[in-house]
Structure 1
Amino acid sequence: MIKPKRLIEMAKKWQKAASAGRKVADKGHFVVYSSDKKRFVVPLTYLASNIFRELFRMSEEEYGLPGDQPITLPCDAFFLEYAILFVGGFVSQDLEKTLLEYVNSVLSSQSSVVQEVNSQQVLRCF
């Protein structure tokens, strides 16, 4: 029979080993993935940005709530790198408005094209 103290030590080692394989964000940051599966570590202060709020809203529409899965934003790595650089610097309201319009128009049209292709594939199945 294993003593409780030894069992606790073993459990701690197993937890460390299990968490070693997971990638964890530093304190004050969160992790998101682009649609092409590239990982980004972003400061929590960026959550106040309208651009990230819109990307999260669109992500929820397209992918649903993540649950145990990582958060995936509906844009490619190039756009997400640009958005992070943009939000990280000084942003005038005009530039932010322009980027938000781009997010809504381009990414929404990409989503509708994917939905259209998916609906055509469904129609071919019948």
Structure 2
Amino acid sequence: MINAKRIAQLAKKWQRMATLGRKRLSWGVAKEADECCTSVASKGHCVVYTADKRRFEVPLAYLGTPVFAELLRISQEEFGFVSNGRITLPCDAAVMEYTMCLLRRGSSVELEKAFLSTMAASYHYAS
């Protein structure tokens, strides 16, 4: 039998997830993405935006990985340091979701290197 404290924790978690799901649906429009830039990231996270204006909260631990270092380097080359106070990454939301999945799973160094080479090749091809 689950105790009352655990049920309360699960209820709070489900409420947070439901709230995030609603926000995620509303961020698809660029105008609404502009309005949400004043919201603060969760503790231990950093907010970044993709080229298609999607907002992501990235755990601070991910910022030190080679994958994010490369994304930030390319972002600096493409957008410079001025972009209305936002960190905008030079990828779309699908690539960002895949990147987050790779890092969340603790992917191998070889897989990260392959992803980086693909990302760098596609960036240089598009330039």
Which residue among 76, 99, 103 is the counterpart of 2:115? 99
Tell me which moved more, 31-40 or 100-109.
100-109
Whether 2:89 is the aligned partner of 1:73: answer yes
Which residue among 43, 49, 63 is the counterpart of 1:27? 43
Q: State the TM-score, normalized to the length of structure 1.
A: 0.68
Larger Rg: 1
Whole-Å separation in 2 of the counterparts to 1:79 and 1:21: 21
Structure 1 pair 68–97 and aligned structure 2 pair: CA distance change class (3 A): same
Letter of the 1:100 counterpart: L
Q: State the TM-score, normalized to the length of structure 2.
A: 0.68
Match of 1:40 in 2: 56
Compare relative contact order (CA 8 Å, sep 6+) and give the higher one, 1 or 2.
1
1:75-109 Cα offsets, whole Å, 9 max, x none, are: 00000010011111121111011001011001222
**For structure 1, which runs of at least 5 residues remain unmatched after alignment?**
1-19, 113-126
Q: Which runs of 4+ in 1 moved over 6 A?
A: none
CA RMSD of superposed structures (Å): 1.7
